[in-house]
Amino acid sequence: VFGGLDKELIETFAGGGIVTLTAVMENLVGRATMIELDEDVAAVWETILGGEAEWLSNEIERFNLTRENVNSILSESPQSVRERALATIVKNRVTRGGILAPGVGFVKHGENGKGLASRWYPKTLKKRILAIDQVRHRIKFIQGDAIPFLKKHAKREDLVFFIDPPYIKAGRRLYKYSDIDHDLLFKLASNLSGNFLMTYDNEEEIRALAQEYGFQARTVPMRNTHLTEKLELLIGKDLDWLS
């Protein structure tokens, strides 16, 4: 799917960027570009990829995660991009399912009944951030809408795309920016010269769009934030590699 070191991966709707990080660190691509519209998520990537990884990881390590401190950092207006990044990571760690959408509540019992701090692993987070810092010269970040990028770079054969948009059903609950023209996204994908892999919820509307544009679709089992198994769709030009 990724094509090797002569290819550049474009991860649209990047979020946590796990596909980019895996592809770069495993040398499945030579370089990658992540695109994300959410300003809070963008602050994290701009900080890590902009040379502030050490500051961010140190602040995470020294942050005393109590309900009082969490309420304080999330109620304040950040004075810089890196302060916004720190607040975003704290919010991701203490909200249900790591959801950043407005109105989401804090975890109650958490993992193993540890409550608010059950997903707060500062040393692990620091290690991950510093590992990303080691490969940041191979990763570019763009804060903005992925649609114009797909239009502009559709004919570049050196690009491969991972497209993971907000899903039809869960998008509004999970993301700040969830309104997507799904038909337009499929149309743009059909014009891409490079290979792509798209993920979606297993809905009839999406299956119909995949069929309309001549894409292959396969169901794969996934676990959601409640650890229950559900089927999602992988969509692409050729998914024979899955078998």
| Residue 88 near residue 43, CB atoms below 8 Å | yes
Q: Which residues contact 113 (CB under 8 A, 6 or more apart)?
A: none
Q: What pLDDT, on the 0 to 100 scale, is given for residue 221?
A: 87
In this structure, how many other beta carbons lie within 10 angstroms of the beta carbon of residue 178?
15
pLDDT (tens, 9 = 90+) of the chain, 243 residues, equals 777 889 999 999 999 999 999 999 999 999 999 999 999 999 999 999 999 999 999 999 999 999 999 999 999 999 999 999 999 999 988 886 666 666 667 766 555 556 778 789 999 999 999 999 999 999 999 999 999 999 999 999 999 999 999 877 654 555 565 678 999 999 999 999 999 999 999 999 999 999 999 999 999 887 765 556 788 999 999 998 887
C-alpha triplet 91, 94, 98: angle, nearest 5°:
75
Q: Which residues contact 54 (CB under 8 A, 6 or more apart)?
A: 130, 133
d(CA 54, CA 84): 15
In this structure, how many other beta carbons lie within 10 angstroms of the beta carbon of residue 92?
18
With b for 16 or more beta-carbon neighbours within 10 A and e for fewer, the 118-133 pattern comes to: bbbebeebbebbeebb
Listed in sequence order, the DSSP H helices in the chain are 18-25, 39-47, 53-62, 67-75, 81-94, 122-134, 146-152, 171-174, 182-190, 204-212
Q: Report residue 8: phi and psi, to 5°.
A: -115, 125
Token reading at 136:
């940041």
3-state secondary structure of 231: strand
| Residue 42 near residue 63, CB atoms below 8 Å | no
Task: Specify the amino acid at residue 74.
Answer: L
Residues in the chain: 243
Task: Specify the amino acid at residue 199.
Answer: T
d(CA 30, CA 56): 26
Q: What pLDDT, on the 0 to 100 scale, is given for residue 79?
A: 92
3-state secondary structure of 48: helix
Q: Which residues contact 76 (CB under 8 A, 6 or more apart)?
A: 87
Q: What is the pLDDT of residues 91-111, one digit of tens each?
A: 988 886 666 666 667 766 555
d(CA 122, CA 196): 35
